[in-house]
Amino acid sequence: MRTTLFQRAAAVATTLGLTSLGLLGAGAAPAQAATSDCPKGYLCAWANGDGTGPMFKTKTSMPTLGSWDNKILTRYNRTGLNVCLFDEQNYAGGYSWDTPAESYPINGGNAEISSIKIAPTLRDCESDPYPYWATATSPRAGGFGDMNGDRRADAVLSDEAGRLWFLSGSGSGRLIGSGGWKAFDTLTRHGDFSGDGREDVIAREKATGKLWLYPGTGSGGLGARKLIGTGGWNSMGRLAAFGDLSGDGRSDLLGVEKATGKLWLYPGTGSGGLGARKLIGTGGWNGMNALVGAGDMTGDGRADLVAREKATGKLWLYLGTSTRTLGARKLIGTGGWNSMNHIIGAGDTSGDGRPDLEAADGVGLYQYQGLATGGLRKVDNDNRSWWALEGATAF
């Protein structure tokens, strides 16, 4: 019996990381026979080991295989998607898989295939495409992170297939973007940029360097986008929606300049645009591989920045100051943070009124509750649904 993707993921996560999952497919050598009859867009299969004779083909998932049940020995994935091959009918039992990269005939050496699922991601084969996300009700209404007005911090996930998912703090999820989101190499959110009181998303287009604002609808969805940067944003490395640093009550954007490592503040205009930038960090910011606008972590009424140091895996808190810059940093994570694939600042997730962080290590999602001193307290809520998300962005 073949094991499931999650079982394999859990077994290798601590030693190899989930990036090795692509090597755990069928693992067989390409068949030697010609298979030129297999059309593009299809999965083709044969009942022998050399890819000759009668050919089975499908471009849709099949819960049962009819006369081909337990007869497939050679297959050829030309779908451009992931193909999961189950031991039992109706996508039950263990399974192996062929990824889009394995676009050559494979002799599996095992005829135990009774159903086939063709899916955009491997997660789709045995689970919801998105991970589980649930947060406590905050005592404060209107805090950043809440995209649907229920006083729970929400999250958004762009998956490796380019779909966009809204993860409600109530524990549900739904599709809010059917495709095309892989065109963006940066996605960030923190509060209202458009001036309508709803949380928005800022996205940088990889091919053009344009910056787009996607206004929140107030129900977890996104409205028609607006161009807020005509080009040149590819000269910036990391971007982070921050909250109000400039002191005008509007959300701002931070950006690290690739060439110099300088940190720039782009003040929000209140109508969705960005004003003239201001230098707030003279250099060295290329040494950080994550920036998170985490909110007011110290309770002084000023927004703060959390940054992960690439060389050490340390987590630093940069305090917002009365002069609307960033002050002295404080160590809030002594190391090990490079093991986190996703660090999410979505506001108050624990329900105590203070901003928290959520971080995922490739299998589990952990809550880091914000303390009155600006520090963090780790809480394990036994959420092990954050597997097979290497190509995803959670924010």
Mean pLDDT of the chain: 91
- Pair 229, 210: CB distance under 8 Å: yes
Q: Specify the 3-state DSSP secondary structure of 14.
A: coil
Q: What is the pLDDT of residues 255-267, one digit of tens each?
A: 999 999 999 999 9
Residue 32 pLDDT > 80: no
The confidence score (pLDDT) of residue 31 equals 41
The confidence score (pLDDT) of residue 33 equals 45
Radius of gyration (C-alpha) of the chain in whole angstroms? 23
- Pair 173, 133: CB distance under 8 Å: yes
Q: What is the pLDDT of residues 222-253, one digit of tens each?
A: 999 999 999 999 999 999 999 999 888 899 99
The confidence score (pLDDT) of residue 34 equals 62
Mean pLDDT calculated for residue range 258-279: 94
Q: What is the pLDDT of residues 175-224, one digit of tens each?
A: 999 999 999 999 999 989 999 999 999 999 999 999 999 999 999 999 99
Report the range of poorest mean pLDDT among 15-19, 43-47, 203-207, 257-261: 15-19
pTM: 0.89
255 against 27, higher pLDDT: 255
Q: Token pair for residue 144?
A: 């950043």
Distance CA(114)–CA(119), nearest Å, equals 17
Environment class of residue 90 by beta-carbon count within 10 Å: exposed (0-12), middle (13-18) or buried (19+)?
exposed
Mean pLDDT calculated for residue range 292-301: 95
The confidence score (pLDDT) of residue 12 equals 38
- Pair 198, 217: CB distance under 8 Å: yes
The confidence score (pLDDT) of residue 2 equals 55
The confidence score (pLDDT) of residue 21 equals 32
Residue 25 pLDDT > 60: no
The confidence score (pLDDT) of residue 6 equals 52
Helices assigned H by DSSP within the chain: 5-12
Residue 356 pLDDT > 50: yes
